[in-house]
Amino acid sequence: MATRKKKSPPSVTWLRRLRQRLTSRMACFVWGAIFGNAILSQPIQPLNLILEPPENMLSAASREWLDTLRAGIRSLSTSFTGAAVDVLREQATDFIPPASAPAAPPAPSATAAHGEFAACYDQFPAQRPLQVSAISTQWAPLALCSDAFAVLYSGLTKTPMVVVEKLSRARLQKAAGIERTDQFYADTRIPAAWRAALGDYQGSGFDRGHLSAAANQPSSTAMAQSFALSNMVPQDPTHNRKLWSKLESDTRKYALRAAGNVYVFSGPLHEGNTQTVGRSAVWIPSHLFKLVYDETGQRAWAYVLPNRADAQITRPMDYASFVQRTRWSLLDGLPVTGSLR
Phi-psi region of 91 (alpha: psi -120 to 50; beta: other; left: phi over 0): alpha
pLDDT digits (tens, 9 = 90+) for 217-268: 999 999 999 999 999 999 999 999 999 999 999 999 999 999 999 999 999 9
Residue 293 has pLDDT above 70, yes or no: yes
Cα separation, 248 vs 146, whole angstroms: 19
Rounded (10°) CA dihedral 239, 244, 249, 252: -170
Q: Under CATH, which number does the domain 104-326 receive?
A: 3.40.570.10
Cα 56 to Cα 315: distance, rounded to the nearest angstrom: 81
Three-state secondary-structure class, residue 289: strand
Which entry of 210, 239, 270, 287 is annotated as an active-site residue? 210
Q: What is the DSSP string of 69-112?
A: HHHHHHHHHHHHHHHHHHHHHHHHHHHS-GGGSPPPPPPTT-BT
Q: How far apart are CA 337 and CA 43, in angstroms?
A: 99
Whether 210 is a known active-site residue: answer yes
- The pLDDT tens digits of the residues spanning 52-95 come to 445 555 566 666 666 666 666 555 544 444 444 344 344 443 33
Residues 137-181 have pLDDT tens digits of 999 999 999 999 999 999 999 999 999 999 999 999 999 999 999
Do 144 and 190 contact (CB within 8 A), yes or no? yes
C-alpha span between 208 and 171 (Å, rounded): 24
Separation of alpha carbons 79 and 91, rounded Å: 18
- In the chain, where does the domain assigned CATH 3.40.570.10 lie? 104-326
Banded pLDDT at 106 (limits 50, 70, 90): very low
